[in-house]
Every structure is written in structure tokens, then in C-alpha cells.
Structure 1
Amino acid sequence: MLEELLTPVVAPIISHWPGLQPYRLQLAIGFLVALVWLLTVLFNWITSRLIQHLSRRGSAMNGQVLKAIRTPLRLMIWLLGISLLIEILSHSGVPVSKAVGAELRRFGTIIIIGWAGLRLIRVAEEWLMSPARGGRKQLDKTTADALGKLFRLILLILVGLTLLQSAGVSISGILAFGGVGGIAVGFAARDLLANFFGGLMIYMDRPFRVGDWVRSPDKEIEGTVEHIGWRLTRIRTFDQRPLYVPNATFTNIAVENPSRMFNRRIFEHVGVRYSDVGRVKEIVDQIREMLLAHEEIDTHQTMIVHLNRFGPSSMDIMVYTFTKTTQWVKYHAIKQDVMLRIADIIEQNGAEFAFPTQTIHLAGQDEEPAFAGYPGPGEGHNPS
């Protein structure tokens, strides 16, 4: 074996310089290291030029694929060089079995191929979420993440089984043991399996995805979804605390997803004084006209502006409408604008908002009743 490795290069050199015969091992090792280094430099130069060429032509996906496999292929060159070096040393008296090089080459190749596969899956995952996919529909982060995890799991299982088979372990025995031992494992890890299947149901039913605002009326859960794992879902609450929820929890609770609302609702009661009863109809009509003309109000949704009830100290006008936006901050700005416009309408009609008041009738007195509590604006307060 040693002669086969040394003969093509070292033997001609030794034939010209017989004095180098005692150093033929050093010559072989030096030549091998130089060859691996030269191949690495040449490989880096070629791949760099290819990546630049693909980038100029707009083939971003091909460039990312080449970047993903570049490092594993470079490592493969060094793996082959190290395995050949071990085989050379095994013939020179070094206590290393020549089978070590072959085993290293075999197991290392399987691991490197698996590593390259994981990097390619990551590139494909980013490509699926990329908006520039040649007209194809962009996948959301949750779906792409689920597909990436599934293919990673399949790849890791295949690599693990291949390594076991290369090590001489019977795969059929492992599969048979998995069928019998799976029952015991299922009982021992039922909570873990419940979370796993809970995560699977989230990926299939998709009640929410990464980036959605969710909350539950059954649990104190509210915030933005940051990550959906196989066991836990991480939610960032509005006070910026991370909340880790086991996936099995979502199979037993109701979950609201406000991020999927089409509109946001404005629902208020406006109370005016009983002394302004003659102005109520005009106020109601003007509020309705204002909402119909408002650029941020969705007039295709339900709109109710009516005198709704007689309160203890006010006549209450119900204002029920929907905004076009669902953004939380913008919604409150629109709501503020609508409420200020309603206040202007009431003021323009010479009416006033009602305050909580009580009328006390004193027995045996014919004078005007006194007001207790808080009088309305412009009303006097009789201390008697």
C-alpha cells in the first residue's frame, strides 16, 4: 500500500537522487500536505469566481447553494488528506492501524454529507420565505420553519442509521426494538409527546404564526409569537417579558388572534343633558354624517348612531362603527379624532355633556330643589 501511494511521485524523485531514499516518508508527507493545500487554494479560487459570476447574473439561489456546500467540500479535501496521511504513517512503524484511515474517511464522509444537507435545508428555508421567487407565492415563516424542522429530522435520522450501519450495527434490530420499546417510551415521555403533537397541530391548523398577536381568555397569555418549537412556543408579552408556553396547552384552551382582524371597533356612549332633548336628533344626524364622511371609517361595516337609552342623569347616544385599520396605535389616533369631532358637534349645537347629578326634594318647602353631587356646566349650586 505504501509503495502504491509513494511510487507515482516519490519514486521518480528518489531514482534521480538516491540519497533521498532514507527520507522517502518525509517526502511523501510533504507532498501530501502540499497537494491538499494546493487543492484547497484552487477550490477556494474557483468557488469564489463562481459565486461572483452567479451574483452578477442574478442567480442568487444558485450562489447561496454554492456557499452552503463550499465549506463541507473544503473539509472533505482535508478529510481525504488526513485519512491518506494515517495510511502512510501506518506503514512506517507508527502504531496506527491502516484501517483507521479508511474508517475515518467513511464516517467523515457520511457526517460531512449530512452537514451539507443541513446547510442546504437552511438555504431552501430562507428561499421559501424570500419575496423574490420568480412570481411564486411567498411562504410565511411558520410554514417554512415547520418544513425545515421536518426535513432536518428526516436527514438526521437517515445519517444516524447510516452511521450505525457503517459501524456494523443491525438496523433491522433497532427498528424492531423501536416498535416494542416505543410503548414504554410513550408512557415515560407522554408529556413530551403531548407537546410534540401539540406543536404538530399548530403547524397543521395554523391558529397563529410567528409575528401574530395572540391572547387566551382561559389563561393569562397575551403577546406576540416569536418562535414555535416542537415542545415550546415563545411569546413576547407587551411588557417585553418572554413567555414560554408548552404546546400541549394550546390543545385545551381557546386562543384569540387579533392580528387577523379585518377592522377595529369603536363603541362608545355619549351622554347629553336632559335639558338638551330638543337638540338630540340634530346631534345624532351630524355624528352619523361625520362618520360616513370620515376617511378612516369603514362604511361597509355596521354603523349605528342612535339615541340608545335614558340614563339616570343623561340621554345616551350609542356610537358603533369600525375603522379601516387594524394597527393598534393608528386605531387609537383615529378613535381620538372621532371623539373630538363628536365633542365639537355637541358644542356647535349648543348642547353640553351630562354630569352625574341628583335632585333632592325637601319635604315642606316650596322653593327650588337643590342639587346634590356634581352640577352640570353653567348650572348654579344651591348650598341650602
Structure 2
Amino acid sequence: MDDPNYAKFVSLVLASSLFIVVYLFFRKYQENIEESLKKVFKDEEFARSVIKYVKYFILLFGVLWVMSILGFQLMLEERILYIKRELIRFPSIFIGLITKLILALFILWIGLKISTRSTKVLEKPIFEIVRTRLVATTLLRAIRYGIILFTVGIAMYALGFRGVLTSLAAGIGIASVVVGVAAGPIIMSFLSGMFILGDKPFEIGDFIEVPSLNIIGEVVDVGMRITKIKSTRGNLVVVPNNEIIKTNIINYKKEFPYVKIVKKVQISYDSDIEKAKEVILNVLKSDKDVCEGEVYYGGEKIDIGPKVFVLEFADSGINIEFWFWIKGYDELKEREVASRVQERIFKKFKESGIVIPYPHRVIISK
């Protein structure tokens, strides 16, 4: 029973059989697993990535496991002779193997009971901490699978596969490095999603602004990897959570009834900048749908009056940016007000002698 060659032989048979069974099982139910991941995480791309990396992990782990057991020490002829010799000894070692197998199964049964009981006991405390059902469920599953994996390790140790456990640890370490490098952005977005769902800087229905990404709109979905925002322009913007988590967010909440509109116009270098700013400001203040003054929301004072800025000096002229707020999240109203305001600015510019430049070429004939 303590013969190292015997341990290698049994380990090789069990490892190869287990690897083949696991891989075939995964291939058979791959589509079902992918559909389940899509339902849980609401992210098709993330589900496909998980399936791909799990498949790579199984293949890599199987190869490393078998290679570590073989050890490249015995030639094929020696292995054939060894197998014949062990078959003769088989009846004497069968009882010991069955005893170890029963012990391992008992350990697995205890581990499954502990994992099930632990998730029931920890469910309420974890939910009270994270306050999000999806995050709580994910953490509980991680705890349960961690206990099961630890129990499997103890069972393998009881069977005498100490070398296999060492190979398993090495294989997991290598695979973790490979997967970590290849799937780094996905993992970061996934972890960021857990932070967002746990800390709740915003929720579905909130009206938020992400200045660094130039996004403002209503949050329509918060997933584990991405957040979907319906912008004030009517577009559905999909943003990776790791981009959101590292920037500042202005949350106006869904009760905040105002929408900020940002527009730009360019004037020529010969035009009067102050006059142009005055014209834009007068047009905005005279429009019936453009808001003015200050409002209080959440204990803070917010200025929703129109504003005009000199943005930059471009190749063909001076870019001016202007902001104004309207009441309500109506996309059609936003476009109508923006169109009306810009038409009036164009007419007032003409009346005031302010020129809007346009690209043109000067041809010099010789």
C-alpha cells in the first residue's frame, strides 16, 4: 500500500478517468450552463467569457495533473510489467482501498452537510450587510463551493493522494495566473459590479451624471459587469463597471425633475466674444422652457440657470459651450427646446454681425 509505484498507477487511472468525465460533462451541458450564467448576470459577453476560461482551465488542469502523476520516470514496458504485477496483488489491496473510499465518501457527506447548513445560517447576516440579493447570493455560493472544495481536498488526502493535491495546487496556481492575465478587465468589472450593488451609489431609476465620460441619463439596469444608462439624447449607453467605479458620479435621484442640456457653437475670430455670449444668454433666458434660478435637492443648492463658456480656440474659430436645464425627462421636449434655442441663436447672430465660420478653401491662380 505504501509502494510509490502503486500510488502512481491508481492516481493515473483515477485522474485520467475523472478528467475525461468532467470534460465530457462540461461539453454536454455547456449551453445550459451558459444560459444560466446569462440569467444570473444579465450579461451575454460575460457568460461566454466564463465558459471559455472554464474550458481552458479544465484542459490545463487535466494535462498538468496527468503529467505530474506520470513524472516521466518509468518507460512504457516497465509500466506494463508493473500493471500485471499489481493485478496479481489486487485482492489483497482491494479491502484497504474500499476502506479508504468509504472514509472519503463519509468526509464528502459531512462537507456537503456543513456547506448547506452554513449557507442557511449566514444568509440573513450577509444580506443585512450587502443589502443586495444578487451580491448576497453570489457570496453564499462562493462560501458553499469553497467548503465543498476544501472537503474534496481532505477526502483526497484520506485516499492517500498527497502528490495529487500538490499537483492540484500547482495547477490551480498556474491556471489562476493565466486566467487572471487574460480575463483581468472582466474580473475587474465583475468586482466593481459587486461594489456598486453593495454600496449602492445609484440604483435603477436614478438620474445620474458621469462628467468624465460625458454621460447623463437614467439608470435602466445594473449588472455584475456593466451598467446601462438611457442618456438624455435617447441612446442606451453601456458602461463597464470598472470605468464607473473609478470616477466621480453625480446622482440626482429619480425624483430630481430637471435635465441638463449641453450644446456648442463656433464663432469666427473676428467676432465679438462678449457680444456672442450675451446673445446666447439672452436667448436662453427668454425661452419659456429653459429653467432659471436655484433649487434645493437633498439639502444641497443646485444652480439650474443657463450658463455660457468659452470652450477653446479651434482652427477655424472660437468654440463656445452653453448649458441650460429643462423640466422633465421627455426626449421629444428636449429636442424641440434645443432646436428652438439654436435656431434663435443663429438668427440673433446674423442680426448682431456675429459670424459662424465654416470650412472653405482659397484657390490662388498664378
TM range (shorter): 0.3 to 0.5
After TM superposition, the score normalised by the length of structure 1 is 0.34
Highest RCO, 1 vs 2 (Cα 8 Å, sep ≥ 6):
2
**TM-score, normalized by length of structure 2?**
0.35
Larger radius of gyration: 1
